[in-house]
Chain A
């Protein structure tokens, strides 16, 4: 026997994986077993430091890990088997890449000698996941495994965060090799994200801010990803400058919705005042957002008179859609800190009273108004009541994708970062339910609510069983209008009211369904019953499916119609008359 047999770092690949997760501080992981990961599951069985959450479909594991990551700032960890296990993970990986969520996904692979052989449950995992990960690895030698795992955690969580995949063939899991704890040298020297902003550029930015008369701050998910310090500095910057601030869907909560400088969300379903301020501003400070097409509307008419400052950690976000005047590459917290320091020492608060007066006029248009109804629950009202009745509680909100998502963004006020989990970039229906499970795992005593739609929740409904198994008291608050509401809205507005396959003629009875899962089902059909039912939902310490029957044909406004600019918004007051038809006439004519 050699001395090596007594080396505690000698272990199997499977043991290395669990050891590496522990060394990276992982407390929870989400997964689903299968042939190609059995050695790893065997190691998981024999330890108690990491809790494994068994989902019902790999996609659920991915979204749960995303919710976990977003609400904690730590990478989410997923373990799935080869072939279908890996392909079922593709949607969450693509989702996490779009929204810059750190995920470490470990996939089993068929034994090395069978790779390329069309073996049972084989697929080209690294090939399939290459375009939907930040980076991925196939580990062919057990002695490379420790280094790759440590690098995976670093790549996923540093710079612009994102998902990574480590594909581990079964023979590598069985093979014995040498493990080493995380080292600095475990990282590609070619990978070095820039965190500190260029001082000269920051000075230029401050000079622009000082000269501004109609400024706006436009913040995004990058501020959330950077961590609580970035949100704190953003709030300080708003205070120091007195500038109005708007945010993308992903950035909600970085600045509190109750803050006096808050304009509401911008973009396609953003507020009138936010979009008008973006259009008419003279200086725009973009922090951690990427000028996405849902934000800009038509790019050639986007904020035509402004000088633009863009803070982003990813150089490829600069000048991708909109040309900016002062790009600053760096981490939001670093750059905001430096910027604030220069601003405070060199600039006195600019006088922008006339600009605020103009904004007040736009605000007075009350772009989020809707028609109240005493017989039918309006979906906006449902979200408003949910917000009011959970105010002051330790609440986390996730959503699915569609009209309910926009109403949640418009009517639920977020005061803190990391409290809002939604699929922004990829727009994944079915995201919210498993995501809520992930959030609840990370925050067992908090109130976690998925604001869902009847169509979306059915895409990952099976995860209710996961919630029941682990006694995760998630609340699935379904705005049930029996339609794929956003699809229908577009068909009404853009496709001659031909409602092609956007109505669900058969829906499950969500209350009975909850019962079948061993959860609790609640239903509200009248506005008068809503508050009581919501309060009951909050009281129940079990998973709840809440079937909130809302006005079936309500649409989501305000809205920037297709091919239009920020200052051509369709407001709710105008939305149901001839103005709608006129605004979309050009589109309809060409359908």
Chain B
């Protein structure tokens, strides 16, 4: 009840946050990504990961995958707010469908020699990471998988001479024969 002098009701709801992966099919026109991102920043929504690329060039369609967090009410709002944008065709909550595959690609650069180098190669093999560049004192691994697997791989590489990481962000697709 006690709140500072304001006509706004300042207390926030305390529902737990959830993480959801949204696939958004949009008309690939100038500014469409700015629109989507502007919606998130303007309304105070979170973006944990964002992936975007044209997927059907003939129809000028792009697919955006966003991982976001929020209370169930906020997640519902995000979907509705996206859906009502003029160039948005469809929004699918991949987390709600429960039948989606999510993958991310990362390139991981290591610098080191001797034991660390051997250990890194051994771990890379266990994680099915491929060597895509090598010098006598460095490797670049390419690893694909769920974000959690990539996080784990990066954590393991850190003491072995991790230099930098480049990640694509999450791409998602539904299982089974149907498209979105």
Most buried by A among B3, B7, B77: B7
Which single member of B5, B7, B77, B84 contacts A588 (CB below 8 Å)? Answer: B5
Hey, what's the 0/1 contact readout for B1-24 against A, CB within 8 Å counting as 1?
111111111110000000000000
Interface string of A122-137 (1 = CB under 8 A from B): 0000110011001100
Q: Which residues of A contact B126 (CB under 8 A)?
A: none
Known: A190-B27, A316-B81. Is A562-B88 also a contact (CB below 8 A)?
no
* A297 interface contact, C-beta 8 A: yes
- Contact between A190 and B88, CB atoms less than 8 A apart: yes
- B53-93 Cβ-contact flags toward A at 8 Å (1 or 0): 00000000000000000000100110011011111110000
- Determine if B26 is an interface residue (Cβ-Cβ < 8 Å): yes
**Which range holds the interface residue count of chain A?**
35 or more
CB neighbours of B1 from chain A (8 A): 563, 586
Cβ–Cβ contact A190 & B89, under 8 A = yes
**Assembled-state Cα–Cα distance A568/B73 (Å):** 27
Chain A contacts of B10 at CB under 8 A?
563
A residues in contact with B80, CB < 8 Å: 314-316, 318, 320
Residues of B within 8 A of A143 (CB): none
In which size bucket is the chain B interface? 20 to 34
A105 vs chain B, min Cβ distance (A): 16
Q: How far is the CA of A320 from the CA of B81 in the complex (A)?
A: 10
Give chain B's interface secondary structure class: loop
Take A191-B86, A563-B10 as given contacts and tell me if A591 and B4 are in contact as well, using a CB distance cutoff of 8 Å: yes
Q: Once bound together, how far apart are the Cα atoms of A590 and B86, in whole Å? A: 44
Task: Give the contacting residue for B6; candidates A300, A320, A563; CB below 8 A.
Answer: A563
Q: Which of B3, B38, B77 contacts A320 (CB 8 A)?
A: B77
Which parts of B28-65 form the interface with A (CB within 8 Å)?
A: 30-31, 34-35, 38, 42
* Smallest beta-carbon distance A458→chain B, Å: 24
Q: A138: which of B7, B27, B30, B35 is its contact (CB, 8 Å)?
A: B30
Q: A190-B27, A297-B9, A586-B2 are in contact. Are A314 and B84 (CB under 8 A)?
A: yes
**In the complex the two chains form, is B9's CB within 8 Å of A299's CB?**
yes
Lowest 5 A-B CB distances belong to which pairs? A494-B5, A316-B80, A587-B5, A135-B86, A190-B89
Contact of A130 among B3, B31, B83 (CB under 8 A): B31
Q: Which of A314, A563, A587, A588 has the most CB of B within 10 A?
A: A563
B13 to chain A, nearest CB (A): 8
Q: Are B9 and A298 in contact (CB-based, < 8 A)?
A: yes
Q: Which residues of A contact B35 (CB under 8 A)?
A: 130
Contact A130–B73 (Cβ < 8 Å) = no
- Closest residue of A by beta carbon distance from B88: A190
Whether the Cβ atoms of A563 and B9 lie closer than 8 Å is yes
Q: Which residues of A contact B34 (CB under 8 A)?
A: 127, 130
- Least distance between B51 CB and chain A CB atoms (Å): 20
